[in-house]
Amino acid sequence: MYKNSTNQFLKPVTTKINDAGNLEIGGCDTVELVEKYGSPLYVMDETTLRNICCDYKSAFSSYPKVNMMFASKALCTMGTSALIASEGFGFDVVSAGEIYTVYKAGADMSKVLFNGNNKSFDELTLAIELGVGRISVDNFFELSLLNEIAKSHNKIIDILLRITPGIECHTHEYIQTGHLDSKFGFDLTQIDEAVELILSEYNNLKLRGLHAHIGSQIFETKVYHDEIEILVREIKRLNDKFGLSLDEINIGGGLGVKYTEKDVPPSAYEIADVILKSLNTAVEKYQINPPALFIEPGRSIVSTAGVTLYTIGSSKQVPKGKKYIAVDGGMADNPRPSMYQAEYSAIIANKPLAENNTKVTIAGRFCESGDILIKDIELPNPEEGDILCVFNTGAYNYSMASNYNRVQKSAMVLVNNSQSDIIINRETLDDIVSGDVVPDRLKIK
């Protein structure tokens, strides 16, 4: 039996029902949070977030050379980045915006890895100028582009090669990434050509190791075993063939979370056990020096810590059909149900103990029939003005949010010890039009 880690919980660890009979998170009454900050409101619980960071660190502590990085794509704000950096994590970033956010948050840039399948000249330049520690090069075009930029800055850049290990994992097709026919990384058959080019022509690049990522919302641990076997085998092969001393492997992220009662994700302690055993076995088998291990989880770090609070507005009973309850957010603050048929759990924050007696479908407020947040959920007589709390929205909600229908993006608060702090301001109507320009010839006099 493995110790539990917080990615296995449906709700933030501080969730309770307070004396007023309302849902409380981080010591804050969620109904009061909506009164104070409005809705929809993203709420992040600091304790849950720090707990999972500690889980990861202690789960991997027996391996001397482990480097934890957080995959910023799951949630990238300056406040959460500062918090995660304070836990000793580095960052996996995929754009100038993410690089700049972690930089402004004060992250140690030497612990940042820049990753992505089509990094631009400007983004690579920014990464070099801000001292990003590693660049995971995805393809031949990028090798040449990065070498040119590095040369013009008179720098030698540490790189990894992103490879496609050819492993299928059982998750939604859109979030599988390590299978052979993937848009990411070098195919196994292209690695030697890439290494030859680095050694012969690209003198401003220093190859440190290999990087792979097999998918997201992963529940089976064996895929990590297979991935590590391939990465270590390739390291050994390249070291022998080219006389290299590659000593870094980055195995990506992927650990799943519990969106509904049906989901039973493994604990961080279990995947750490599989990963470290597989690594030690592969190191023995291929007789290499133990490489530095990098892991870059995203979802499992931030998902459980986050909830979204909505206010219920209109409702509609389709004659002989479903009962729809509409909330003041939806697919623009959480596109996951409409993109991936993702399922979520929710309760009514102002009557969490009331008996669930009504089956409803939670509809968003956006002009799209597919804007449904939760299908067929039992709730206690949901009514206009009730506060709906949707759990496990910390990952890939705010980071994929849009301004569809020109609705302002929601605010985010960090809660801890009965204190709440705004970490993202709610957008204003002026923010909505701030980038718009009306050409003079079209101005209405």
State both tokens at 270. Answer: 């279990």
Please identify, using beta-carbon distances, which residue of 50 and 299 lies nearer to ligand LLP: 299
Q: Which residue has the tokens 């969730």?
A: 15
Determine whether 169 is an active site residue: no
Amino acid present at 89: F
Segment interacting with ligand LLP, rule: CB under 6 A, options 82-90, 251-259, 347-355, 430-438: 251-259
The residue within the footprint of ligand LLP, chosen from 177, 308, 311, 410 (CB under 6 A), is 177
Kindly determine how many residues on this chain lie close enough to bind ligand LLP according to the rule CB under 6 A.
Answer: 22
Is residue 415 within 8 A of residue 28, CB to CB? The reply is: yes
Phi and psi for 191 in degrees, rounded to 5? -65, -45
89 lies in the site for ligand LLP, by CB under 6 A = no
Nearer to ligand LLP, 83 or 342 (CB): 342
Between CA 22 and CA 16 the distance in angstroms is: 8
340: CB partners within 8 A, 6+ apart: 172, 174, 175
Task: By CB under 6 A, tell whether 252 contacts ligand LLP.
Answer: yes
Binders of ligand LLP in range 2-61 (CB under 6 A): none
Under rule CB under 6 A, residue 128 binds ligand LLP: no
By CB under 6 A, residue 296 contacts ligand LLP: yes
Write b or e for each residue in 88-114: b if 16 or more Cβ atoms lie within 10 A of its Cβ, otherwise e. ebbbbbbbbebbebbbebebebebbbb
Q: Specify the residue, 133 or 297, whose C-beta has the smaller distance to ligand LLP.
A: 297
Q: Output 29 or 92, the one with its CB closest to ligand LLP.
A: 92
- Tokens 């449904």 identify what position? 372
115 scored as a contact of ligand LLP (CB under 6 A): yes
Cβ(312)–Cβ(374) under 8 Å?
A: no
**Residue 77 has what DSSP assignment?**
-
- Confirm or reject binding of residue 182 to ligand LLP (CB under 6 A): no
Binding segment toward ligand LLP, per CB under 6 A, in 236-244, 252-260, 348-356, 362-370: 252-260
- CB 76, min distance to ligand LLP, A: 12
- 300 binds ligand LLP per the rule CB under 6 A: yes
AA identity, residue 394: G
Nearer to ligand LLP, 130 or 175 (CB): 175
Bridge pairing between strands 372-379 and 346-348 = unpaired
Q: Are 178 and 164 in contact (CB under 8 A)?
A: yes
- Applying CB under 6 A, does 265 fall inside the site for ligand LLP? no
Interface residues toward ligand LLP, by CB under 6 A: 71, 73-74, 92, 115, 175, 177, 213, 216-217, 252-255, 296-300, 336, 340, 396
Q: Which residues are catalytic?
A: 367
